[in-house]
Structure 1
Amino acid sequence: MQLTRPDLARILERSVAERPTADPGWLDAPPARARVLRERVVLGPDASVPATADALFGWRIHRGAGLIIESTGLAATGVTVVQAVRAGPLWFAAPCRVVDAVREPDVAGFTYATLPHHPETGVESFRVVRDGDRVVFEIHAVARHDFWGSRILPRIAHRVQDRVTRGYLNSAGG
């Protein structure tokens, strides 16, 4: 947390050597005190899994949600990404590592886990799925507030998380 825009390139350089602070298994078995979030949106009639997957893997859905992104590449297993978001006068940097990725004709997406210095500890999964004749964008996140600021002000932390999640859904659906 800081008052000026974080130096994402420097944070990314530092984060590449870090190990994730959460296990992808949290999506199936959330730990105590974790907040579980599941959201989905049916995309428009012209949506396709490949086109939406291109936007997702290229971080365009994240940028469309209002995040500033610095990454070691397109989303793929092992890629490190640092995201920055502004909440009022404060900036938060959130380093993550992609721990799982799938890209098939009817399902595409990835899961990332938080790295040290992220305001939360958790995992988040993004999937584009063909569901019959519809294309659906899904988000599944499990996180707990391990940063002192989010533990003291959990409602504000939830509002920021909810705002970013709505941004992902709107960006994918738009």
Structure 2
Amino acid sequence: MKIILKVLLYIVLGILALCISEMLFFFILIHSNNTEKGNKTVIMKTDSIAHSKALVVYQPSLMTDSTKNVAYDLAKGLNSKGYDVTIAYPGKYLSTDLSTYKVVVFGSPIYIGQTSSVLNDYIKSVNNLKDQKILLFVTGGADDSEQLNSLEKLFTNAEIPMKISFKYNDKGNENKAFNLGSEIGKE
């Protein structure tokens, strides 16, 4: 009987340790998604004489490069259509006056059904976006239409014509994002 109780105790302790480690893992993911990543800005210049400007703002993912890759592929598509594209992380350092941009893209990874609070706060702080084309994207492992809709609700002074979800590590993301950037850029 003592052996059975010891085995049961070890099983319970093992399950408890597993639960605690999962909770810690999810806490780290959420914390990372809701922490500013600093002032990182990349500019893709175009060779086009009559160039317009685009801004791609995304919160990088802790787990994969999916969000970063989608952001850069969208930027490459826009750049191929004659746009100077600025790629940046959201945060307090980033200007909230986006009037010089013709196209503005916002992207976030989804962790535990939530978009990045850093991106959400930045979107809320952005001034007038009535004249810009706006695209929202999220990366995640499931149908993320609910998260896209919650992102859209943050825009009180702009219409969101395009929202799209990308699955983590989907091999078609690169072409899908590039083609979408090209499509937006030619309008």
Would you say same fold, with TM above 0.5? no
- TM-score normalised by the chain length of structure 2: 0.28
Q: Which has the larger radius of gyration?
A: 2
Q: Which has the higher helix share?
A: 2
**TM-score normalised per structure 1:** 0.29
